[in-house]
């Protein structure tokens, strides 16, 4: 460990308290992790830049070796105060960071993958402007030390915004060509930073819309490389999952307007919609999903922008868990039987490993006047009388969800079959029931929990899978589950979510058994009833097989669209599992 870096580390630790008090004397964060080289920094998750934050544990990591290579040793207070600013100001927490990225994605059609990078630029502008003007730190000198001569227009715009904010002579930071359009955009950008300094989330989409024309040229590759050492929020979300991202916030799309269309910035109080109609294409924003909920793939892209490395299946599990959460039944309150005083039932030896307060000293002395712990000591055993309220036992759930080729892939777009299954399954688990979940397409195309489980994650992993084959109900699972079921086993409710393809249930299984008989036996041995919620046309009773199903004892609940499954799931969960 080089002695000069040790001395530098001690000096930077000395500046830590000063950097904290720049924001507030009440600011409390644990000291930064100061690394000496790239290897140490990489072990902390810092790879490309000379500093980074972690929003999951409010950590700050600095690579002192890279600081020295960039000749920034003298700017300890500036750099540390900047990183603290990410924790106390913008974005301050993982959820708001994700919300900012979500808003920027609307303003970056075809370049949504750059939202995380643009969010880093935006938050840096907000923090640095505060530190330069209000705290009198030498942030401009930091940029002078790292500035590179380049004609990249995004870099020039970014540096020109700083020049305007801090009244620096044109060209001192911005080294590229500054034409009238770029100058106008830089003026708008500086005004945006000042106007939305307190409501920075509202300005996020507008800033991204301002940057869009400048990253369209080369997909933002050059500017990302130029600012590689400054990307301190790139992996700030690793290890955490923010809540509230599956729904689209009010004003999220509308906030993605170009700053030139914002009356707050231009001073022109006209109808924004009228301005949008005449605005150039590059000044408007499109793209993304519509409706109240975000699509699973969009949700996954936001998580990816936070630095989370999750596959599509893992993303889908988290997505449907969050979408279902608002519709679940309440956690049941434990019913205490009307009871009684405790009943003394007898004595047993007290061992020295047991708590001392459990010794019954009176009985111990009565048994032997010479008390020897562990030999002559005894303790009282207690029982209780039975209460008058009966014990409640929830119905277990046997769920079969159709995942044939006509059904949507829940990992790419919203699948109401999966969402309904998640609502009902999680409600059942919350009520204390066990769940067997089966995703089916063909007779030999299925995924199942292989029995009744209490594992929420396992159930969701099954429900969020995708098969996409032909349609054939896996009658053998129904057969194997119920053919040997005993009357003493817990009652089960069988629930099938499908369309008219459910009648494949009555085909013969691989052993030649009649599917109708298998289904009838399952319904009888389950002892908790059976429901089929099916997407059917109004004249579904003309289908003899469906009528036969109803006559067998199944409750058929027809729906007209898959969206209706959510209301069914809520009603079914309340009826079956609510107190």
Q: Which of 76-80, 176-180, 244-248, 383-387 has the least mean pLDDT? A: 383-387
Kindly state whether residue 312 falls inside one of the protein's structural domains: no
| Pair 349, 407 in one domain | no
Q: Are 427 and 487 in a shared domain?
A: yes
pLDDT tens digits along 537-577: 999 999 988 998 999 999 999 999 999 999 999 999 999 99
- Considering the entire predicted model, what is its pTM? 0.81
Looking at the fold, whether 84 and 103 belong to one and the same domain comes out as: no
**Is 540 within a domain?**
yes
| pLDDT tens digits along 279-324 | 443 434 334 444 478 999 999 999 999 988 899 999 999 999 999 9
pLDDT number for residue 259? 94
Query: Based on the domain organization, do 153 and 202 belong to the same domain?
Result: yes
Domain range for 359 = 343-383
- Answer whether residue 218 shows pLDDT above 80: no
Same domain for 114 and 253? yes
Is there a domain that residue 572 lies in? yes
Please say whether the beta carbons of 367 and 464 come within 8 A: no
Query: pLDDT confidence of 418, banded at 50, 70, 90?
Result: very high
Residue 527 confidence (pLDDT) above 80: yes
Average pLDDT, the chain: 88
Burial class (CB in 10 A: 0-12, 13-18, 19+), 573: buried
The secondary structure element, H or E, covering residue 117 is helix 115-133
Whether residues 427 and 494 share a domain: the answer is: yes
User: How high is the pLDDT of residue 359?
Assistant: 84
Domain endpoint, select from 66, 88, 110: 88
Distance CA 206, CA 202 (A): 8
What does the pLDDT read at residue 334? Answer: 53
The whole-number pLDDT of residue 221 equals 81
Count the residues in the chain: 579
pLDDT at 524: 94
Q: What is the pLDDT of residues 322-353, one digit of tens each?
A: 999 999 998 775 555 555 566 677 788 887 77
Would you say the C-alpha torsion 8, 14, 16, 18 has a positive or negative sign? negative
Assign 164 a pLDDT band (cuts: 50, 70, 90): very high
Give domain status of residue 403, yes or no. yes
Let me know if residue 257 belongs to a domain.
yes
Sheet containing 59-63: order of strands:
33-35, 59-63, 51-54
pLDDT of residue 288: 43
Query: Is the residue at 336 inside a domain?
Result: no
Residues 518 and 464 in one domain: yes
Q: Are 423 and 572 members of one domain?
A: yes
pLDDT at res. 273: 47
Select the more confidently predicted residue: 269 or 507: 507
* 327 assigned to some structural domain: no
Q: What is the pLDDT of residues 118-160, one digit of tens each?
A: 999 999 999 999 999 999 999 999 999 887 788 899 999 999 9
Number of domains present in the structure of the chain: 4
Same domain membership, residue 124 and residue 32? no
Question: Which of 88, 109, 138 lies at the terminal end of a domain, its last residue?
Answer: 88
| pLDDT confidence of residue 146 | 84
Among 282, 305, 328, residue at a domain's last position: 305
3-state helix, strand, coil in the chain (%, to 5): 50, 10, 40
Q: Do 74 and 100 sit in the same domain of this protein?
A: no
Asked whether residue 355 falls in the same domain as residue 402, the answer is no
User: Domain for residue 465, yes or no?
Assistant: yes
Same domain, 160 and 261: yes
The percent of residues in the chain predicted with pLDDT above 70, rounded, is 91
Mean pLDDT of 439-449: 89
Residue 578 scores a pLDDT above 90: no
């Amino acid at each position: 460990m080089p002695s000069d870096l040790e001395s530098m580390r001690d000096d930077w630790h000395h500046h830590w308290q000063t950097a904290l008090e720049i924001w507030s004397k009440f600011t409390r964060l644990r000291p930064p992790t100061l690394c000496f080289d790239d290897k140490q920094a990489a072990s902390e998750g810092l790879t490309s830049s000379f500093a980074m934050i972690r929003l999951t544990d409010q950590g700050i990591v600095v690579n002192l070796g890279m600081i020295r290579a960039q000749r920034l040793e003298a700017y300890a207070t500036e750099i540390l105060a900047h990183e603290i600013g990410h924790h106390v100001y913008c974005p301050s927490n993982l959820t708001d960071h994700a919300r900012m990225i979500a808003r920027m994605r609307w303003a970056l059609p075809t370049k949504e993958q750059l939202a995380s990078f643009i969010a880093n630029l935006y938050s840096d502008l907000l923090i640095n402007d505060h530190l330069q003007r209000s705290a009198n730190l030498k942030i401009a000198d930091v940029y002078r030390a790292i500035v590179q001569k380049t004609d990249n227009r995004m870099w020039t715009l970014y540096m020109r915004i700083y020049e305007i904010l801090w009244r620096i002579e044109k060209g001192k930071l911005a080294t590229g060509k500054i034409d009238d359009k770029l100058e106008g955009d830089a003026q708008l950008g500086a005004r945006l930073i000042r106007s939305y300094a307190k409501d920075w989330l509202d300005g996020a989409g507008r800033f991204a819309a301002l940057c869009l024309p400048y990253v369209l040229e080369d997909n933002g590759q050059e500017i990302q490389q130029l600012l590689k050492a400054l990307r301190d929020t790139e992996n700030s979300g690793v290890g955490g999952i923010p809540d509230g991202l599956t729904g689209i916030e009010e004003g999220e799309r509308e906030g993605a307007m170009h700053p030139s269309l914002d009356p707050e910035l231009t001073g022109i109080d006209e109808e924004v919609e009228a301005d949008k109609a005449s605005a150039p294409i590059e000044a408007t924003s499109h793209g993304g999903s519509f409706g109240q909920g975000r699509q699973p793939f969009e949700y996954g892209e936001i998580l990816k922008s936070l630095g989370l490395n999750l596959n599509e299946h893992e993303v889908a599990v988290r997505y449907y868990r969050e979408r279902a959460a608002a519709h679940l039944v309440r956690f049941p309150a434990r019913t205490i039987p009307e009871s009684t005083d405790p009943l003394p039932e007898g004595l047993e030896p007290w061992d020295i490993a047991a708590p001392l307060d459990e010794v019954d000293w009176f009985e111990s002395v009565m048994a032997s006047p010479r008390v020897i712990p562990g030999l002559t000591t005894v303790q009282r055993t207690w029982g209780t009388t039975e209460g008058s309220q009966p014990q409640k036992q929830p119905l277990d759930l046997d769920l079969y969800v159709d995942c044939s080729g006509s059904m949507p892939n829940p990992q790419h777009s919203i699948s109401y079959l999966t969402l309904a299954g998640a609502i009902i399954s999680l409600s059942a688990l919350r009520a204390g029931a066990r769940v067997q979940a089966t995703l089916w397409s063909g007779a030999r195309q299925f995924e199942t929990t292989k029995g009744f489980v209490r594992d929420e994650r396992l159930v969701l992993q099954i429900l969020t899978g995708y098969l996409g084959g032909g349609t054939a109900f896996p009658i053998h699972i129904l057969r194997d589950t119920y053919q040997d079921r005993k009357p003493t086993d817990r009652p089960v409710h069988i629930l099938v979510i499908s369309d008219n393809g459910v009648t494949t249930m009555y085909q013969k299984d691989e052993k030649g058994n009649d599917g109708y008989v298998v289904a009838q036996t399952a319904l009888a041995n389950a002892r908790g009833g059976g429901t089929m919620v099916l997407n059917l046309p109004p004249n579904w009773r003309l289908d003899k097989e469906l009528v036969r199903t109803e006559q067998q004892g199944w409750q058929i609940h027809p729906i007209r669209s898959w969206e209706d499954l959510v209301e069914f799931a809520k009603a079914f969960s309340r009826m079956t599992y609510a107190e």
